[in-house]
Structure 1
């Protein structure tokens, strides 16, 4: 083979090799069955499982509000602090109402004697008959005086609706005809007092007792007394030793 023929052969071979190398490397692969095709879809990223919602509080249950979420602000101290409950809540027991007495034998004999003397003087119709029964001096009988030096009989006549003081005598008879009570027992002020309304709440009067009260005062007077809360008409007090302590009017 001549040189020229060899050169042409080499060139042809090189050209063929060059053409082979220049062809694409991805030759068509043989067809695959569907079962042979693998799923190459990328898997989705892993996700946390959904959180289970907390159960709703039952009706009436308080919500759990932690101090971290809602800081508690302390209540301010009250402007007026309550006093000691042991002292403020303690109620002073009220004294029982005095016994209403109708039996004169339950009163000491000196008390019974003075009561009868007053009634006898009142029944005479002469207000001057009361004067010897009125105590004088340090233990003088208390009567409604307009001035400290006023004569007691003159003061009583001034309270009467008539000039002779006979209305006062009638009031004495009515008062001393009712029941009585013993007040301030065991003290220097102890006295047997007529009428018993002076020691009993008017709100506690029975129908019979209201009739007794209406024998002394009018219905209008009773209504006014109930508004004020106590009996405020005339009353007579006699000490256990038989002294006429007072013939007073008012509370």
Structure 2
């Protein structure tokens, strides 16, 4: 009987070695080809297939200022010349705002109405404002939008306390500031407190910021500057002495 040893001794050695060498060479060639396919992202590789990835030879878009990619618009357009919340009869924003502190420069009916508002608010009795507010179409506006049948009740609801003391304090603070005369020569002509309603809040002087901070908090001021304008309470009185509004705009 022939054994495995006998069979192996009969196989010529040279052809075996040659076959082993050819097989090893084939494996090495396949491995090299695979490796080259993995190096297709190396710069200068001539036969690299196109992929979804960006080739290093292609110019990359600059981080900023690219003409092909529009930059996002700012939340507040500083150059638009438009106020986010306009007081009725407001003047052109491109013109400087004249702030008035001397109440004697206002017409006598305006001075009288302002004095009556101050006296009523200082009394702590919200009902004392009712006779000053008129009725019907001439009723003082206390909300933005639809008019209310009961302005005093609305003001009490807006106050942080059940008696309306907070809203009276706000009214006193607002009407104690400087004011502006807007809408001259138009049906919307009136005198408006505080003057911040017509002022660029980012251009306030230090004394003006202190004056505004008597009405609002520092956080409120920061929000208003980001928002683009004053959006707290304001008082408007027409030249004939009618109390037009006491509203907060946003």
TM range (shorter): 0.5 to 0.7
- Provide Cα deviations, 1:69-96, integer angstroms capped at 9, x if missing partner: xxxxxxxxxxxxxxxxxxxxxx999631
- Using the TM superposition, give the Cα deviation of residue 204 of structure 1 relative to its aligned residue in structure 2, in angstroms: 1.4
Structure of higher CA gyration radius: 1
- Provide Cα deviations, 1:181-231, integer angstroms capped at 9, x if missing partner: 011111101110000001111011100000000000000000000001100
- Using the TM superposition, give the Cα deviation of residue 147 of structure 1 relative to its aligned residue in structure 2, in angstroms: 6.4
Q: Between the two structures, name the one with larger relative contact order (CA 8 Å, sep ≥ 6).
A: 2
Moved over 6 A (4+): none
In structure 2, stretches of 5+ residues that fail to align are 1-79, 82-91
SS at match of 1:122: helix
Match of 1:156 in 2: 155
What is the alpha-carbon distance in structure 1 between the residues aligned to residue 122 and residue 240 of structure 2? Answer: 24
Q: Does 1:216 align with 2:212?
A: no
What is the alpha-carbon distance in structure 2 between the residues aligned to residue 136 and residue 99 of structure 1? Answer: 32
Q: Does 1:168 align with 2:167?
A: yes
Q: Does 1:242 align with 2:241?
A: yes
TM-score by length of 2: 0.61
In structure 1, stretches of 5+ residues that fail to align are 1-90
What is the alpha-carbon distance in structure 2 between the residues aligned to residue 230 and residue 94 of structure 1? Answer: 11
What is the alpha-carbon distance in structure 2 between the residues aligned to residue 242 and residue 236 of structure 1? Answer: 12
Counterparts of 1:17-96 in structure 2 under 5 Å? 95-96=94-95
Q: Does 1:123 align with 2:125?
A: no
Are residues 123 and 106 of structure 1, via their aligned partners in 2, closer, same or farther at CA, if it must alter by over 3 Å? same
What is the alpha-carbon distance in structure 2 between the residues aligned to residue 243 and residue 190 of structure 1? Answer: 11
What is the alpha-carbon distance in structure 2 between the residues aligned to residue 94 and residue 233 of structure 1? Answer: 19
- Provide Cα deviations, 1:107-156, integer angstroms capped at 9, x if missing partner: 11110100000000000000011000002122221111796454110000
Number of equivalenced pairs: 161
- For the aligned residue pairs, the C-alpha RMSD in angstroms reads 1.9
Match of 1:191 in 2: 190
On the 8 A contact 2:124/2:165 being kept in 1, the answer is: yes
On the 8 A contact 1:195/1:235 being kept in 2, the answer is: yes
Are residues 145 and 204 of structure 1, via their aligned partners in 2, closer, same or farther at CA, if it must alter by over 3 Å? closer
Are residues 106 and 146 of structure 1, via their aligned partners in 2, closer, same or farther at CA, if it must alter by over 3 Å? closer
Match of 1:181 in 2: 180
